[in-house]
């Protein structure tokens, strides 16, 4: 998909091989995801085959070294392409699972796994046979990571973990859950990361969490009741959890921003097509001044946002992006996506409130993006502090 306002304009952050990769993934989505999207939405979970098929075609675990079955392609722009194209294809919730695997789970393993852990975990992760999830949020703890209460106590060669996590994407499908756990009372130095695996004693999953939107994304609460985890499943040094969490927040928030910007473009495209065809009082509803002004404002915001996001992605690639920029990108794009979807639904009239039209799905899916990866209020707090306020 090209920009709504500037079709065909080459985006400077991408190179020729990225275009080929994008086109290949576009075809993959049409063949392997789009035909199943509605079914997966009804089931509230995607088939595990999606992960293995994505791996076979080079769309999973791209950054894992070839010796473990990955592509050895440490280029975050590939991740951005996947998120964008899923949005353009209208199947964001179906791609959420692989995206969590690629963008949330794998970076922790790449950054902190030792050689033994890499040899043990990476082949399955790279093939898509071992599905990853990341577990931070707790029933009583959202954006405040220092408030994490799930606790681990050393017991010989094991750790005994007690607690619960909630709103965990891939919570049902996941075979390995990268989990933030408290190993000491210090708010920051007392956090550690563990990899908790399917079948471990004391590890249980709740039922699917019924959500307003993103229905193809399986989401669950996880319970650890005297869960026995081998010491060799500690990821990184004991007490390094807070540092690990902080180090991965920029790409996590930027990934959400990239997807939200693309989804806003798609929602605008769908709305434009509708208002040009739908008639009222004998003429297309898009020809009324209110419609024109509303869409003109949204198109301008979308175009300006694309320029900012591409600049921020470029800065992340060259290592100069800041926490404040990622926070700006996250809250701006997710607010804009909601604005575009809400206006788009309004311009669809009563039909916008039916599931017959894509805009209703986009509207429902968009709302949670303002909460994911730290609420937008937290993002504004971070930006405000960077201004010396």
**DSSP code string of 116-180:** HHHHHHHHHHHHTSS-EEEE--BTTBSS-GGG---EEEEETTEEEEEEEEEEEETTTT-SEEEEE
Is residue 4, in this structure, part of any structural domain at all?
A: no
Tokens matching residue 383: 């930006």
Give the residue from 86, 111, 131 where a domain finishes: 131
Same domain, 26 and 112: yes
Distance CA 161, CA 212 (A): 31
Assigned domain for 1 exists: no
φ/ψ of 4, rounded to 5, equals: -60, -40
| CA–CA gap between residue 160 and residue 321 (Å, rounded) | 38
Q: What is the pLDDT of residues 291-326, one digit of tens each?
A: 999 999 999 999 999 999 999 999 999 999 999 999
H/E run at residue 271: helix 249-277
Average pLDDT estimate for 46-62: 97
Mean pLDDT of the chain: 94
Number of domains in the chain: 3
Query: Tokens representing 48?
Result: 């595990």
Residue 10 covered by a domain: no
Confidence class of residue 8 from pLDDT cuts 50, 70 and 90? low
Rg (alpha carbons) of the chain, rounded to whole number: 21
Residues 83 and 202 reside in one and the same domain: no
Phi, psi of 41 (to 5 degrees): -65, -40
84 and 207 housed in the same domain: no
What's the rounded Cα separation, in Å, for the pair 77 and 14?
7
Q: pLDDT tens for residues 326-352?
A: 999 999 999 999 999 999 999 999 999
- How many CA atoms lie within 13 Å of 351's alpha carbon, on the beta-carbon side? 11
Whether residue 8 is contained in a domain is answered as no
**Domain end residue (candidates: 239, 271, 286):** 239
Q: Are residues 121 and 141 in the same domain?
A: no
- Does residue 159 share a domain with residue 120? no
This prediction's pTM: 0.94
We report the CATH number of the domain holding residue 25 as 1.10.540.10
β-bridge partners, 203: 224
Q: Of 84, 85, 138, 252, which one is the catalytic site residue?
A: 252
Grade residue 284 by pLDDT with cuts at 50, 70 and 90.
confident
pLDDT higher than 50, residue 2: no
Mark whether 221 and 168 lie in a shared domain. yes
C-alpha distances (whole Å) from 160 to each of 122, 134, 157, 197, 234 are: 25, 19, 10, 14, 12
- Residues comprising the chain, all counted: 389
Q: Are 87 and 262 in contact (CB under 8 A)?
A: yes
| CA atoms within 13 Å, Cβ hemisphere of 110 | 21
Mean pLDDT of 197-218: 96
Q: Within this chain, do residues 166 and 296 fall inside the same structural domain, yes or no?
A: no
* 5 is a domain residue: no
73: left (phi over 0), alpha (psi -120 to 50) or beta: beta
* CATH assignment of the domain containing 181: 2.40.110.10
Range of the domain at 119: 16-131
Average pLDDT over residues 371-384: 94
Task: Specify whether 58 is located in the same domain as 113.
Answer: yes
Q: Which helix (H) or strand (E) holds 222?
A: strand 219-230
Tens-digit pLDDT profile for residues 68-118: 999 999 899 999 999 999 999 999 999 999 999 999 999 999 999 999 999
Q: How far is CA 257 from the centre of its chain?
A: 9
55 three-state secondary structure? helix
Mode of pairing for the β-strands spanning 132-135 and 176-182: parallel
Q: Are 264 and 171 part of one and the same domain?
A: no
232 and 216, same structural domain?
yes
Run of H or E residues at 358 = helix 358-366
Same domain, yes or no: 213 and 230? yes
In-domain check, residue 2: no
My answer on whether 100 and 142 are in the same domain is no
Concerning whether 252 is annotated as a catalytic residue, the answer is yes
Q: How do residues 150-195 score in pLDDT, each as one tens digit? A: 999 999 999 999 999 999 999 999 999 999 999 999 888 999 999 9
Tell me whether residue 120 is in a domain.
yes
**The last residue of a domain, from among 100, 131, 162:** 131
d(CA 183, CA 153) in angstroms, rounded, equals 7
- Whether residue 121 lies inside any domain: the answer is yes
The rounded Cα 25 to chain-centroid distance in angstroms is 17
Residue 370: give its domain's CATH number: 1.20.140.10
């Amino acid at each position: 998909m090209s920009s709504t306002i500037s079709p065909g304009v080459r985006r400077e952050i991408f190179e020729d091989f990225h275009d080929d990769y994008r086109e290949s993934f576009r075809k993959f989505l049409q063949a392997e995801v789009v035909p199943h999207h509605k079914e997966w939405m009804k089931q509230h979970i995607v088939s595990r085959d999606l992960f293995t098929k994505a791996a076979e075609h080079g769309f999973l675990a791209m950054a894992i070294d070839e010796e473990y079955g990955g592509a050895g392609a440490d280029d975050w722009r590939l991740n951005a392409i996947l998120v964008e194209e899923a949005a353009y294809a209208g199947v964001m919730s179906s791609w959420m699972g692989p995206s969590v695997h690629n963008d949330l789970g794998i970076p922790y393993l790449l950054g902190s796994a030792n050689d033994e852990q890499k040899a043990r975990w990476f082949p399955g992760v790279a093939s898509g046979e071992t599905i990853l999830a990341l577990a931070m949020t707790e029933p009583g703890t959202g954006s405040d990571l220092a408030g994490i209460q799930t606790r681990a106590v050393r017991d010989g060669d094991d750790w005994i973990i007690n607690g619960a996590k909630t709103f965990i994407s891939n919570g049902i499908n996941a075979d390995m859950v990268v989990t933030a756990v408290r190993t000491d009372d210090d708010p920051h130095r007392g956090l550690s990361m563990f990899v908790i695996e399917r079948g471990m004693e004391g590890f249980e999953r709740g039922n699917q969490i019924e959500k307003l939107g993103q229905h193809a994304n399986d989401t669950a609460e996880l319970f650890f009741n005297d869960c026995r985890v081998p010491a060799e499943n500690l990821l990184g040094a004991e007490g390094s959890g807070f540092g690990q969490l902080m180090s991965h927040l920029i790409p996590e928030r930027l990934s959400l921003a990239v997807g939200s910007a693309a989804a806003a473009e798609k929602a605008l495209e769908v709305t434009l097509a509708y208002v040009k065809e739908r008639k009222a009082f004998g003429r297309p509803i898009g020809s009324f001044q209110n419609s024109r002004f509303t869409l003109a404002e949204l198109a301008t915001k979308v175009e300006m946002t694309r320029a900012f996001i591409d600049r921020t992605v470029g800065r992340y690639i060259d290592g100069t992006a800041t926490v404040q920029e990622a926070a700006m990108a996250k809250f701006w794009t997710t607010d804009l996506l909601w604005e575009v979807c809400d206006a788009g639904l309004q311009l669809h009239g009563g039909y916008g409130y039916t599931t017959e039209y894509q805009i209703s799905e986009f509207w429902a899916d968009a709302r949670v993006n303002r909460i994911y990866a730290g609420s937008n209020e937290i993002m504004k707090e971070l930006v405000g502090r960077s201004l010396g306020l």
